[in-house]
A = this chain, B = another copy of it.
Amino acid sequence: MACEKHKLSYSSLLEDACRPFPSSRKIYISGSRDDIQVGMREVLLSDTSGRFGNEKNEPVRIYDTSGSYTDDKPLHDLKRGLPLLREKWIIERQDTEKLKGKSSVYAHSRNQDLRFDSVRFAEKKTPRKAQSGKCVTQLHYARRGIITPEMEYIAIRENLGRTAAGIDSPITPEFVRREVAEGRAIIPANINHPETEPMIIGRNFLVKINVNIGNSAVTSSVEEEVEKMLWATRWGGDTIMDLSTGKHIHETREWVVRNSPVPVGTVPIYQALEKVKGKVKDLSWEVLRDTIIEHAEQGVDYITVHAGVLRAHAAKTRDRVTGIVSRGGGILAQWCELHDAENFLYTNFRELCEVCQAYDVALSLGDGLRPGSSADACDEAQYAELKTLGELTQIAWEYDVQVMVEGPGHVPMNRIKENMDLQLEYCHEAPFYTLGPLTTDIAPGYDHITSGIGAAMIGWYGCAMLCYVTPKEHLGLPNRDDVKAGVIAYKIAAHAADIAKGHPGARVRDDALSKARYEFRWEDQFNLSLDPETAVAYHDETLPQDGAKSSEFCSMCGPDFCPMRMTQDVREMDSSKQPAL
């Protein structure tokens, strides 16, 4: 549909993804071994000069999720996928092997089906799996005291290179290992997604954001979904979830995973339902299990499973204003009812863990009964499910499977902290991953803002990852522009949370931007911002002249009323007649 309208080509997608950020260069910080090279963006600043004194301004390092697309000389072919950054580390551990013969029945038959040749990702790869009896999760290694290259990579990345530069930081590779070992953080890193740049989700690290993409039966194409992935990671998405429910789910995911520099999450039950032609009654653990293996073989780094939607909990939603609003939750509640049976994800949870530990697929325990409105927030159904998720967390940990726990949704501001505190208590400090929460229901079209407020707050209170919400929430499937609007709103929320938490160095970028602002280094102010293109466009709307970029005012106040210019005047008067003022 929409794709036919704007006719995307992979080369134009790539061009957009590789466009350099202004006055920025990609740098790589080396770890203890040559193949640990952590990419960061460095924004180069102009010198302070003239009346503000003479001073060099150090470049500012920015946590970079855009992968090698923003390398100085990017070498890419979307049809071949990204380089295999982690492959050597995975092989070195000698606990995996290439898959012999078929594993996911569906994947095998789908890959043979000639009808999908035209949309299929061409580059073939044989998936890996743990050797029989082995567990290949980062949690497993961490518990055995092993610091993996992934952990070291993360320590450097979280410090934005401070460790490498010899600056003290609490975030050491050993700190990363311990947080993972204790279940407070996860490293989503499927052995079949060696393209991913290691990152961590945990409340003692930078707050992360997830970006949902994916088609629906109504709209979108493979190209559009690849475009959204590239756009999401360019603007700062730390993970993406491919929530496709429309056509070509298998092929779309392959394209996305092979080209994604960040971990990819999915909700396998969506595809399982598509496999049974939308008939909830026909779903079964067997269909879902095969789908999960299919995803695991493709390299999905974490999956959402709504294993906590128990019949007794779902019954508690009966008097809600908005019932069940999680797609997975809705499917499973309906299945239970149709079969007069308990949720098959709950009853087969241990077998699920066995699958996950063979690929290092992290579990994201879905909150299928999250509230869909302020009216339903913090009710019995929600908290009953949360307790069950806590029990499941402990079971997953028995299998060394990494776990995070999903949360709401819609919560008034005065009850956000309660949600965070209860999650920590019920779920034994496993990382919390929330959708917003939206703090009011009256602004469809602006739910990136209603939820950005809640997201910032819960991030400050300890939420590890914030699932973005776009302006299209409740109204339609987001397009590329909506994805960007959602990402920027959530980068703001996550960063505000990092500052409030006192994360070491979180304010470096703020302070550099504020100094540039005060000194009328307009270009530096734009370049340090989350979205330089928009900042410069807004400025230039009224003052497009080149000279305005060195003026000591903008069109807001005009030349006579700029308070920052006046302060500087006062400071100069002051220093010329010390010690007054």
Which residues of A pack against B, CB within 8 Å?
1-2, 216-219, 245-246, 270, 273-274, 278, 280, 311, 314-315, 317-318, 321-327, 329-331, 333-334, 337-338, 340, 372-376, 412-414, 439-446, 448-450, 452-453, 456-457, 460, 471-477, 479, 488-489, 491-493, 495-497, 499-502, 507, 509-511, 513-515, 517-518, 525-526, 528-531, 534-535, 537-539, 541-543, 554-571, 573-574, 580-581
Contacts and interface: CB of A to CB of B under 8 A. Distances in A.
B441 A558 contact: no
23 contacts: A217-B558, A280-B566, A322-B517, A322-B564, A323-B568, A326-B563, A330-B565, A330-B567, A333-B567, A338-B573, A372-B564, A373-B511, A374-B507, A414-B499, A439-B496, A441-B514, A442-B528, A450-B492, A457-B457, A471-B538, A472-B538, A474-B517, A476-B554
A179 to B, nearest CB: 22
Nearest to A493: B453
A377 B109 CA distance: 61
Contacts of A513: 441-442, 444
Contacts of A517: 322, 372-373, 441, 474
Contacts of A569: 334
> How many of these chains are in the complex?
2
Contact of A534 (B216, B323, B446): B446
A448 B315 CA distance: 41
A314 B441 contact: no
B556 A518 contact: no
B570 A440 contact: no
A495 B318 CA distance: 28
- Nearest first, the 9 A-B pairs at minimum CB distance are A323-B567, A330-B563, A217-B558, A373-B514, A330-B566, A413-B500, A439-B496, A445-B534, A278-B560
A61 to B, nearest CB: 13
Contacts of A375: 507, 510-511, 514
A476 B539 contact: yes
A569 B338 CA distance: 10
A561 B318 CA distance: 20
A45 to B, nearest CB: 14
A559 to B, nearest CB: 7
A374 B448 CA distance: 23
A530 to B, nearest CB: 5
A330 B539 contact: no
A446 B531 contact: yes
Nearest to A537: B445
Contacts of A338: 573
A500 B537 CA distance: 36
A542 B475 CA distance: 9
A475 B554 contact: yes
A327 B413 contact: no
A35 to B, nearest CB: 32
A477 B555 contact: yes
A219 to B, nearest CB: 5
Contacts of A413: 456-457, 460, 496-497, 499-500
Nearest to A534: B445
A567 B219 contact: no
B581 A318 contact: yes
A369 to B, nearest CB: 10
A434 to B, nearest CB: 15
Contacts of A514: 321-322, 372-376, 441
Contact of A561 (B322, B327, B528, B560): B327
Nearest to A323: B567
A499 B557 contact: no
A248 to B, nearest CB: 14
A217 B566 contact: no
Nearest to A376: B514
B337 A574 contact: yes
B456 A538 contact: no
A337 B492 contact: no
A509 B444 contact: no
Contacts of A450: 492, 496
Contacts of A475: 535, 538-539, 554, 556
Nearest to A581: B315
